[in-house]
Amino acid sequence: MNSTPEITQAPRRLLRLKQVLDRTGLPKSTMYSRISTGTFPKQVPLGSSLESEVEAWIQALVDERDHRSESGGTAGGIEGDGDPPRLAA
């Protein structure tokens, strides 16, 4: 049996900037930097992000962390300076 909790599809709901920052824990400058490098979902014209894209980004971080700990990486720590995995468009 898989011990990973099942992720349900997040609704396609727009999030305001403050909601994105609260949900991700990123400082605003880091979020904008990652948007410019393509490692975080782009804003939609209203100045918001799709909740499902933010949730997918968070899940990608968790998956990368879990993969590192399973493959002998630093368990629970940060390994290297690499950016988190990029989401598919």
Q: Give pLDDT tens digits for 43-66.
A: 877 656 778 888 899 999 999 999
How far, CA to CA in Å, does 19 sit from each of 10, 24, 34, 47, 81? 14, 9, 17, 12, 26
- The whole-angstrom separation of Cα 40 and Cα 62 is 15
Are the CB atoms for 49 and 43 separated by under 8 Å?
yes
0.75 exceeded by pTM? no
**Per-residue confidence band for 72, with pLDDT thresholds at 50, 70 and 90:** confident
